[in-house]
Amino acid sequence: MGYQVEIDKRSGFCSGVIRAIQCAEQALNENKPVYSLGAIVHNNEELRRLEEKGLRIIHRSQLHQIPEGSIILIRAHGEPPSTYSLIANRNISLLECTCPVVLLLQKKIKKEHTRIKPEKGQIVIFGKQGHAEVDGLVGQVAGDAIVVESLKDLDNICFSGGPVSLFSQTTQNPQEYKKIREHLLRLMQGQGMDPDRLKVFDTICSQVDGRQTELARFARSRSLILFVTGKESSNGKVLFHTCEEANPRSYAIENAGDISLAWFRPGDTVGICGATSTPFWLMEQVADKVRNL
């Protein structure tokens, strides 16, 4: 039984991930050992492809084990200053692939921390604890930032009475960020603080922000959605939630092998989409599998 299948052309790698992968592939062509500090992209299928070309994934704790003359790649998520210090002490080449949007955010946080610290100000970051990008952001201020994942986390903040500056991880849900901002403002007012003491920075990547609306529209236009994403992708979780809200018959899969016939009904129109860490070639594989069911 054939199904009408369409791939969402706005899905797939964001410009930051495209840039990082192109950097990696160019370096691999030089036939030198290339080490990525953490997974260059949160997608196992793409990682396998790059590892077959010679890319090696390592953890920060393994930096001292890298042979001299090797290339170390800083992925799109970015790194804290401490990582650069470790690299500077070794005879290895640095390949800087941090997304320009993330680099700009790092600089903003560092500058804002310098501005508000004399007034006992607080930096609050809406993001996922332990995420590579968030670790890099917190590292800009030597750990002097509060990371919140949900509204509930805000209730644990002990306000100092000084200014509060709110930032977001670049791949967070814009609507959730709005809720965080509104709840933070209520908490500050409840403690008698001047609402003007809160400064909110618009730091969600415009590609991610715009993709939410378009993805919801795409999900509603099909009877069944297959959302292709790696299990470790934070952005994948955010965007899949958008799909589910727009179309309850949405299923998250890592590859074509995860597809279940039980999901399909006669006459289904099938939409294929994915995260900013999902390669387009993988979505095409999924589409081919559906066409041949």
d(C-alpha 171, C-alpha 248), whole Å: 23
Residue type, 73: L
Strands 224-228 and 250-253: parallel
Which residues, other chains included, contact 22 with Cβ-Cβ below 8 Å and sequence gap of 6+?
Answer: none
CA distances for 145 relative to 72, 101, 284, angstroms: 28, 20, 41
Place of tokens 């500090």: 37
Q: Are 5 and 272 in contact (CB under 8 A)?
A: yes
Q: Are 116 and 162 in contact (CB under 8 A)?
A: yes
Q: Are 32 and 71 in contact (CB under 8 A)?
A: yes
Would you say the C-alpha torsion 277, 24, 125, 86 has a positive or negative sign?
positive
- Supply the residues annotated as catalytic: 133
Check residue 262 and report its DSSP letter. Answer: G
- 3-state class of 113 per DSSP? helix
d(C-alpha 99, C-alpha 18), whole Å: 10
5 pairs with which residues across the strands?
270
Q: How many CB atoms lie within 10 A of CB 22?
A: 11
Backbone φ and ψ of 29, nearest 5°: -70, -15
Residue 216: burial class (beta carbons within 10 Å; 0-12, 13-18, 19+): middle
